[in-house]
Chain A
């Protein structure tokens, strides 16, 4: 089971990315551990500067972009 984390500051774009990830998982019928982190300290410690960031298995796959469901599917 893969571990997916969405980092965001709580803005609209970040929430939408989280929703899209969930929708994508439902669509492809995969199980994953999805987390949404909006703790600024964690984000700063990670050194992220363009939000939202999408991490799959501790690897950054996208930053600063609101990905569509289809685009997420390719990255998973």
Chain B
């Protein structure tokens, strides 16, 4: 029997996925030209990922059970949004965490450290930002990770690129965003998230702020522990356990998020929202970015709120700013980080991220017409 290595197997799988996507796009193009392609993408994001059919189904069920009047009332509509969104997000969440965890099992921090150690300059920053999206780590491991990176000779800029992108961007967020806002916005979110990570890290390094770490971080040898190679079964078990653990951890955020979303969507008067976050208000992005910093929620809890704001006509940039500031800066990780870096660097880090988020918000609001 011919032996196929895991690496070439992975390449074959990746190619066949790309091939099927390409085939679907080609068929759509042959049937309806360029229009066909955009219809296909809209179908994937609205029906397949966004599950609009589920919303319609719940609407029909409500009409059958309580009459059309109930569905049109604000409380009926809020309840419909609540049930639809909870089912949708939890379903997508479980699917995505499984896939993402499986991919993550290939990138333990120890391996990421070795990969990053081999690169220099801006390439290393980009790699740091990208690996930040696929390396699993919880805030309780952030000190050993920070120290491990630094002692391995990875520059402060690259480490911060990693730390900025890690909570901000991940594959799961990309798909969930696509389900709510469509692919153009989702892909732009990922792109600007990575850009912020690269630029933020570079600034921290070039200004010399990155040297402000606690003494103990630098005193010591770099130690490379061997990491354990996993079998496919290990990875599948790991991915399954991650789904369950993440579910246990975030379900409350999701329920609260969807609840708040349903309130915003249907019950809070739209005028109020427009007053604070309206497109025509110059301060909307500023408010969204700063309000989000002390809030701590998983990206999955933020999306229903973003979704509701989006339907109420709040600008795309304002929404992205809110999501980014809620997820990127959280109290637990700040507390952990403050043990390894000096206050000056910590504040510079927070400042750079907040300014970056605000800039992204204004840019997207100005260019929003391109996406919606």
Contacts and interface: CB of A to CB of B under 8 A. Distances in A.
Interface of A: 8-11, 13-14, 40-41, 43-51, 60-66
Contact of A9 (B108, B140, B223, B227): B140
Nearest to B111: A49
A44 B140 contact: no
B141 A46 contact: no
A14 B138 CA distance: 12
Interface in B215-267: 216, 220, 222-228, 238, 241, 245
18 contacts: A9-B143, A13-B140, A43-B144, A44-B143, A44-B147, A45-B220, A45-B223, A47-B224, A47-B225, A49-B110, A49-B144, A50-B108, A50-B109, A50-B141, A63-B227, A64-B108, A65-B238, A65-B241
Contacts of B216: 41, 44
Nearest to B143: A40
Contact of B108 (A8, A61, A63): A63
B266 to A, nearest CB: 37
Contacts of A63: 108, 110, 225, 227-228
B136 interface: yes
A62 B228 contact: yes
Given A49-B145, A51-B144, A13 B138 contact: yes
Contacts, number: 71
Nearest 7 CB-CB pairings of A with B: A47-B223, A11-B140, A49-B109, A9-B140, A47-B225, A49-B148, A51-B141
B141 A64 contact: yes
Nearest to B137: A50
Interface of B: 108-110, 113, 136-138, 140-141, 143-145, 147-148, 216, 220, 222-228, 238, 241, 245
A45 B220 CA distance: 7
Given A45-B220, A63-B228, 11 more contacts: A9-B143, A11-B138, A11-B140, A41-B216, A47-B110, A47-B222, A49-B137, A50-B137, A61-B228, A65-B238, A66-B241
Given A49-B109, A64-B108, A44 B227 contact: no
Contact of B141 (A9, A41, A47): A9
A62 B136 CA distance: 15
Contact of B245 (A41, A64, A66): A66
A11 B143 CA distance: 13
A59 to B, nearest CB: 10
Contacts of A44: 143-144, 147-148, 216, 220
B339 to A, nearest CB: 8
B220 A50 contact: no
Contacts of B141: 9, 49-51, 64
A50 B225 CA distance: 11
Contacts of B145: 49-50
A46 B136 contact: no
B128 to A, nearest CB: 15
Nearest to B149: A49
A48 B297 CA distance: 27
Contacts of A60: 225-226, 228
A44 B225 CA distance: 11
Contacts of B245: 66
A27 B229 CA distance: 28
B136 A48 contact: no
A14 B140 contact: yes
A57 to B, nearest CB: 15
A61 B225 CA distance: 12
B137 A46 contact: no
A49 B113 contact: yes
A40 B136 contact: no
